[in-house]
Amino acid sequence: MGSAGGPPNGPVPAGRQCPGSSRCGAQHDHARGAGRPCAENGSGRPDDVPPGQAASVGAVWVPTVETYAELGRRVLAGPARLGRTRLVAVDGPSGAGKSVFAARLADALAALPGGGRPPVVHTDDLLDGWADQLTFWPRLERWVLAPLRAGKPGAYRRYSWVRRCFLPRELPVPPAPVVIVEGVSAARAAVRPELTLSVLVTAPAELRSSRAVARDGPGILPELRRWHAGERAHFAADGTADAVDLVVDGAPGLPHDPGTEYVALGGGKAGIRCRS
> What's the pLDDT tens digit per position in 115-156?
789 999 999 999 999 889 999 999 999 999 999 999 999 999
> What's the pLDDT tens digit per position in 19-73?
543 333 333 333 333 222 333 333 334 433 433 334 433 445 689 999 999 999 9
Kindly list the domain boundaries of the chain, sorted by start residue.
Answer: 46-271
Q: Who contacts 207 (Cβ-Cβ below 8 Å, separation ≥6)?
A: 95, 251
* pLDDT above 70 coverage of the chain, percent: 74
Q: Judge residue 114's burial from the number of C-beta atoms within 10 Å of its C-beta, 0-12 exposed, 13-18 middle, 19 or more buried.
A: exposed
What are the φ and ψ backbone dihedral angles of 10, each rounded to 5 degrees?
A: 105, -175
> What's the pLDDT tens digit per position in 206-254?
888 888 888 888 988 888 888 888 999 999 999 999 999 999 999 999 9
Whether the pLDDT of residue 275 is over 60: the answer is no
pLDDT of residue 27: 31
- Secondary structure class of 205 (helix, strand, coil): helix
When pLDDT is averaged across residues 157-172 and rounded to a whole number, the result is 95
Beta-sheet pairing, 195-202 with 246-249: parallel
- Secondary structure class of 185 (helix, strand, coil): coil
Handedness of CA 172, 134, 98, 74 (dihedral sign): negative
Q: Who contacts 105 (Cβ-Cβ below 8 Å, separation ≥6)?
A: 68, 71, 72, 75, 88, 90, 180
> In terms of Cα–Cα distance, which of 189, 183, 196 is closest to 242?
189
pLDDT of residue 241: 93
pLDDT of residue 183: 97
Question: What CATH class is the domain 46-271?
Answer: alpha beta
Cα 52 to Cα 45: distance, rounded to the nearest angstrom: 8
> What's the pLDDT tens digit per position in 97-118?
999 999 999 999 999 997 789 9
Residue 92: alpha-carbon gap to chain centroid: 8
pLDDT of residue 18: 56
Q: Judge residue 16's burial from the number of C-beta atoms within 10 Å of its C-beta, 0-12 exposed, 13-18 middle, 19 or more buried.
A: middle
Give yes or no for a contact between 115 and 72, defined as CB atoms under 8 angstroms apart: yes
> In terms of Cα–Cα distance, which of 196, 258, 244, 252 is closest to 64?
252
Give the CA distances from residue 116 to residues 24, 82, 113, in Å, rounded to whole numbers and listed in that order.
Answer: 31, 18, 8
pLDDT of residue 60: 57
**Eight-class DSSP state of 80:** P
